[in-house]
Each structure stands twice: as C-alpha cells, then as structure tokens.
Structure 1
C-alpha cells in the first residue's frame, strides 16, 4: 500500500518508537493521528508533523472508539494502524522477602500490552473492513509491536514476555481472520533500542547492553524501527509475519 495520502493511527505516538513511526509516516505523506495517554507530548509531536493529537486509553473501548471517530472526522477513514503503545516491568515471582509477586503487576502489563493492542486492532479492523478496497483489493494494514522478550524473556520478565508473546502468537490467526477483508497484519519484535526509557539508565549500563548486540554493536535507532514499519505497509506480500529487529541479539537470562 502506498503510504502517501493515507490516514494512519499510531498508538504510543508521543515518544520512543511510536513517535519515530508517527514522524516517518508523516514524512511519507500520511495524515497521522497520534494517540497517547500523555496528551501534552502527543500535542507537541502532532504539531511538529502536522498531525492530530488524541488522548486515549487503549484498554478502554469507549476511549478508543472516541479517538478513532475524531481521527476519521479530521483525516478521513484510517487504513493504517501502528500499535506501538506499551509498558515494561520486571518482577521475580518470589520476592526477596519470600512473598509472591503481586498479581496486579502481571495483570497491568498484560492488560496494556496485549489486551490494549487487541482492543485497538479489533475496533480499527471493524471500521477498516467497511472501506472500499484499493486497486489490489487491500483495505488496510495493522502493525503490532512485540519484543525479543517474546522469545528470550529474561529473569523477572514473565508478565512482559507473556504480553509480547501473546502478540506474536496472535499475529497469524489475526492475519488469517482479516484476510477476507483485505487487511494485512504483521508484528515487529525489536531488541534493545535507544528510547527515552533506555536513556534513563546510566551511560555505562547502556554501553554494556549495546556491547551485547553482535552487529551492529549499538542500540537500535527508533527511526530504524519506523523504517521497517513503513516497509511493512509498502510491501503488499508481507502478511502474518513476525520480524525480529535486533542486530542478531539473543537475550541472556539476566
């Protein structure tokens, strides 16, 4: 699908990988709606790219429906969805004091990363399925954001790995389900990237993490993630696929 002229939705578009993706889509000619809980930062990004900022809780159906409706009113029906919003978190199952890890922490990560992405995808797909097909029969593209933790989850990452693994496992059945509507689905699984969250770590820690990547031995750049996301849109034969973007990294247990 040609990105130019299309309306796009980017969740988590106010920072990190989501911001880079929003900027890349806008640069390619898309009309971009930046969805994020951080309304101020979303407004700043949207202003800089000529897009639309929308506060949104991806786990709440009413919030997502309202955001999609406002985006459609401003930009027209969206054919592109970039699910980038998510949270991290690590907690050992048995704490140092011998107590079990709080169930609420696990629920929160899975609810945002997995249920939130599915919630936005299902509501977007229902709207997209009603659009007129393009010349090749295609109606839309959904890109999910997993992580290498889906395959190489580290100690304490049970919730994060489960949430990202759920996205990986959901990719093919979702692509098969939406094939009859002409909607493609792919998932990107990034490794270690220079996001704001990563940059909060001490510099020596960042250097150590970067050195663990075989090649190139550096943290990934958010614009490299954005480039791949845009390529998924442009390459009409990419469907039902999970793509690692990690410089051949395989995470150690800790």
Structure 2
C-alpha cells in the first residue's frame, strides 16, 4: 500500500515506538491520528506532524470508538492502524507477599491484548467499507507483540501472556479479513530504547544491551517504525509476526 495520502491511526502514539511510527507515517504523507491515554504527549506528537491528537483508553469500547470516529471525521476512514499502546509491569506470580493481585494481571491483559483487539475490530469495520485500491487492498493492521511472547522471563507472566495473545490473534484476524483485502501482521520487538528501558539504571541498561548478539545495543523506535513501514508497503506480508530483536533469545531472568 502506498502511504501517501491515506489516513492512519497509531495507538500509544505519544511516546516510544508509537511516536516514531506516527512521525514516520506523517513523513511518508499519511494523515495521522495519534491516540494515547495521556493527552499531553499525544498533542505534542500530533503538533509536530500536523496530525490529530486523541486522548483515549484503548481498553474502553466507548473511548476506542470515539477515537476512531474523531480520526474519521478529520482524515477519513483509516487504511492503516498500528497498535503500539501497551504496559509492561514486572511481577512474579507468587512474590514475597504471596500471590499477585488478580487485578494486576487483568490490567496487563486488558491494555496489551484487549486494547489491541478493541482497536483492530473498530478500525477493520471502517476499512471494510472503503473502496478497494488497485490491487484489491483496503487496509493494513500492524500490532505490537514482543519476544516475551516466546521467551517470557520470570516476572513477565502477565506481559508474556498478553503478547502471546497478540501473536495468536494475528493469523485468525488475517484469515478473516482476507476477503476484504485487509492485511494483519505483528512485530515482536526485543530490547528497544523506549521510556521503560531507558528509565532503568545505566548499569542495567548496559548489561541488557550487551546481551543482544548483534547489534549489541537496544533497538531504536525508528527501526521499529521502519519495519512497520515496510509491512504497510509490502502487500505480500500477511498473517506474520516478525521478530525484530538482533537475534536475542531471552534467558529465564
């Protein structure tokens, strides 16, 4: 799909992977709606790229629908959706104080998996009503999984489960939407220089970066955005979850 001139929605667009993706899409000519739970960061990124900022909790059916409607009103129905909204708290299933609170587990599943599904269903419904492009394509959805989906570490039970769900969601969604010319893919990043990792002590950052076989550093949000762009533009990529991780395989801890 050619990006120039189409409408796009990026969730988690106020920072990290989402912000880089929103900037990339805008630079390629897309009309971008930046969705983030925090209004300030969304407005800052949208202001930089001439896009629309919408503060919304992606776990809410009503807020998600309102965000999609706002983007549709400003830019027309989106042909591109990139799901970057997510959280990654670290908790053992049973810690020093006993079993983890069930609501803590539930919250991670709600944001990372249900939030992804919520925006996917809403945007895909709009995409199905669009006129097909020359090659029959109507839209592209890119979700964010994680290498934790495959090698979740101790303390990542909720996060790994949520991202494993994103991986498992990708193929049935791609198969369902194929008749409408809508592609669905996912990216599974490894260690990336996002606010979560950059907030760790420098010694921890250095140790983590050194664990990546090559290149031995954190990935950059721009490298994530570059892959997202290639997925959008390469019509043959469908139903895939692509690891973007420098060949890292996570150890138990």
Give the structure 1 partner of residue 30 of structure 2.
Answer: 30
Q: TM-score, normalised by structure 1?
A: 0.99
Matched, 1:249 2:242: no
For structure 2, the 5+ residue unaligned runs are: none
d(CA) in 1 for partners of 2:151 and 2:142? 21
Cα offset, 1:93, TM superposition: 1.5
Give the structure 2 partner of residue 164 of structure 1.
Answer: 163
Cα offset, 1:92, TM superposition: 1.1
d(CA) in 2 for partners of 1:37 and 1:173? 28
The 3-state SS of whatever aligns with 1:78 is coil
Give the structure 2 partner of residue 42 of structure 1.
Answer: 42
Aligned runs of 1:82-231 on 2, under 5 Å? 82-97=82-97, 99-231=98-230
Give the structure 2 partner of residue 15 of structure 1.
Answer: 15
Cα offset, 1:4, TM superposition: 0.6
d(CA) in 2 for partners of 1:200 and 1:163? 22
Cα offset, 1:57, TM superposition: 0.9
The 3-state SS of whatever aligns with 2:143 is strand
Cα offset, 1:24, TM superposition: 0.5
Cα offset, 1:127, TM superposition: 0.9
d(CA) in 2 for partners of 1:24 and 1:131? 23
User: How well do the aligned residues superpose, as a CA RMSD in angstroms?
Assistant: 0.6
Cα offset, 1:95, TM superposition: 1.4
Q: Deviations over 1:88-139 (max 9, x none)?
A: 0121111113x11111110000011001100110011111101110000000
d(CA) in 2 for partners of 1:101 and 1:201? 23
Matched, 1:65 2:38: no
d(CA) in 1 for partners of 2:28 and 2:181? 22
Cα offset, 1:77, TM superposition: 1.3
Give the structure 1 partner of residue 51 of structure 2.
Answer: 51
Give the structure 2 partner of residue 79 of structure 1.
Answer: 79
Q: State how many pairs are aligned.
A: 253
Cα offset, 1:152, TM superposition: 0.6
The 3-state SS of whatever aligns with 1:41 is helix
Q: TM-score, normalised by structure 2?
A: 0.99
For structure 1, the 5+ residue unaligned runs are: none
